[in-house]
């Protein structure tokens, strides 16, 4: 008996330790959940409704419906799995979150971007974010952005040539044409690398950018796959890693090639024929140093290049409007003077998420709760934007903006973590939109309901954007 008992001692102890650990973890998680549940109980919540996680379109539409149904409430609460989210969609409740330097940490759903983007400017926090932001801000100076304008004009010309073939041939989905143009622009300006997405949309890198965005979006909506163990054994973990390898291999190769070919003395010099060489965002990162004179490692640079690619290649703005614009290539002065185009553009992410723990309009919010700011709803607040679904660019005239709270319209977020590349994005959109409007009259072929906006990592139309084109005679002012 003694021998038999001894032979089972180690397995028995192992099982006991496992059960004890499981009980402790369950107790800890359950007590944390209950504490937050009771603390957040007074916060308004839609009763009897569970957000539909099955499709991206239904989920976004349901959140949008909630913000209209509870328009008079200062905030809403929403549980996705065991994680509490507080939905903010009014200027008054958003302001203290985005302006408070304490609330800079991104919400839990941003963790799923880490394998792709690392902890670059979008996903980092604390001292790393502050140091990186300070280092990168000079690379977005307007004089540097002016150098990117030639690339934008060239790619816009290619887009116009492609669209010209659609004239008189009925309706077509223009969304893919615009996004491929944006991808060509960002690859050349960010990495100095032409990928010819507009002529080769079957490029492995091009397809991988969009596939990865879709995969991450699906995981964010499905809390049962938030665990890495579950995700990699039962979810899309293997496909995620396969696509990740394609993305990282591409940027890794470009960074190393650029580092070898571009020296500090060469990057700003003229070429042999007297033409100034084009600078890329990557070239400037290779020369960037902090206050101590320390440069960024290739890993640091890859984080920022991947982040820049993610943020600006996954979206483009298309406005179905027309106007009389100059019939020549846009100069930097033209862009600064094109006030009307600026009022046409609304370039937004569907959500902005932070973790925070401050009272909101008298409601207590527990530490670790996630704030989800809904710009899509906030920018349609009828108190500040009467008949918000009407197309009225004149809303943004200075005289019509008097009395509007500064945080009622923040398409690029606000505060310390506002979008560092917003000038780049607006410049790109002005070039693309004005190039289209100079050459074509546009007829929309969908109602707003048929567009079905989808809140993924970025805002997309579920069914594309279908238009008809008519050739326009170029005129000069």
Overall average pLDDT of the 345-362 stretch: 59
Rounded to an integer, what distance in angstroms lies between the CA atom of residue 456 and that of residue 20?
A: 40
CATH number at residue 420: 1.10.630.10
Q: Which residue has the higher pLDDT, 239 or 204?
A: 239
pLDDT above 90 (res 246): yes
pLDDT above 90 (res 444): no
- 476 is a domain residue: no
Overall average pLDDT of the 28-48 stretch: 80
- 23 is a domain residue: no
- 118 is a domain residue: yes
Give phi and psi for 416, each to the nearest 5: -65, -30
Structure confidence by residue, pLDDT tens digits, 13-29: 667 777 877 787 777 77
- 28 is a domain residue: no
- 294 is a domain residue: yes
Structure tokens at 2: 């003694």
Known binding residue 419? Answer is: yes
Mean pLDDT of the chain: 79
- 27 is a domain residue: no
pLDDT above 90 (res 78): no
- 37 is a domain residue: no
- 24 is a domain residue: no
Give phi and psi for 444, each to the nearest 5: -75, 140
Q: How does residue 319 score in pLDDT terms, banded at 50, 70 and 90?
A: very low
Number of domains in the chain: 1
Q: CA 474 from chain center: how many Å?
A: 35
Rounded to an integer, what distance in angstroms lies between the CA atom of residue 375 and that of residue 351?
A: 6
Structure confidence by residue, pLDDT tens digits, 158-215: 999 999 999 989 999 988 888 889 889 988 998 888 889 898 877 788 888 888 988 9
Structure confidence by residue, pLDDT tens digits, 426-436: 888 888 888 88
What domain range includes position 105? 42-471
Global pTM? 0.80
């Amino acid at each position: 008996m003694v021998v038999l008992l001894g032979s089972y001692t180690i397995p028995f102890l192992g099982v006991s330790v496992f059960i004890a650990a499981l009980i402790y973890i369950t107790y800890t998680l359950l007590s944390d959940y209950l504490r937050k549940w009771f603390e957040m109980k007074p916060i308004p919540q839609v009763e009897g409704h569970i957000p539909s996680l099955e499709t991206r379109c239904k989920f976004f539409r349901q959140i949008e419906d909630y913000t209209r149904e509870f328009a008079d409430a200062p905030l809403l609460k929403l549980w996705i799995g065991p994680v509490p989210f507080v939905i903010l969609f009014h200027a008054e409740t958003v302001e203290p979150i985005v302006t408070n330097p304490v609330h800079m940490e991104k919400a839990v759903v941003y963790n799923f971007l880490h394998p792709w983007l690392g902890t670059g400017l979008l996903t980092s926090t604390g001292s790393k974010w502050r140091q990186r932001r300070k280092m990168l801000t000079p690379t977005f100076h307007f004089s540097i952005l002016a150098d990117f304008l030639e690339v934008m004009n060239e790619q816009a010309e290619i887009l116009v040539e492609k669209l010209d073939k659609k004239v008189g041939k009925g309706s077509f989905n223009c969304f893919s044409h615009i996004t491929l143009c944006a991808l060509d622009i960002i690859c050349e300006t960010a990495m100095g690398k032409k990928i010819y997405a507009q002529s080769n949309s079957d490029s492995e890198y091009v397809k991988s950018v969009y596939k990865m965005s879709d995969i991450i979006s699906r995981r964010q909506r499905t809390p049962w796959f938030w665990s890495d163990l579950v995700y990699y054994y039962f979810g899309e973990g293997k496909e995620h890693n396969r696509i990740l390898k394609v993305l990282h291999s591409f940027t890794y190769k470009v960074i190393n090639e650029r580092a070898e070919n571009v020296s500090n003395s060469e990057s700003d010099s003229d070429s042999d024929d007297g033409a100034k060489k084009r600078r890329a965002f990557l070239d400037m990162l290779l020369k960037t140093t902090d206050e101590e004179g320390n440069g960024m490692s290739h890993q640091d640079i890859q984080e920022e290049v991947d982040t820049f690619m993610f943020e600006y290649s996954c979206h483009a703005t298309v406005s179905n409007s027309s106007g009389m614009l100059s019939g020549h290539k846009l100069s930097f002065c033209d862009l600064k003077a094109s006030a009307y185009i600026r009022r046409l553009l609304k370039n937004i992410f569907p959500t902005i998420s932070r973790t925070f723990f401050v009272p909101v309009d008298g409601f207590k919010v527990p530490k670790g709760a996630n704030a989800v700011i809904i710009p899509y709803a906030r920018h349609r607040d009828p108190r500040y934007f009467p008949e918000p679904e009407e197309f009225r660019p004149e809303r943004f005239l200075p005289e019509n903006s008097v009395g509007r709270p500064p945080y009622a319209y923040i398409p690029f977020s606000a505060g310390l973590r506002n979008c560092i590349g917003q000038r780049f994005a607006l410049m790109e959109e002005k070039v693309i939109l004005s190039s289209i409007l100079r050459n074509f009259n546009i007829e929309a072929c969908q109602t707003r309901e048929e567009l079905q906006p989808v809140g993924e990592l970025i805002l997309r139309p579920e069914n594309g954007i279908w238009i008809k084109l008519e050739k326009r005679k170029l005129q000069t002012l």
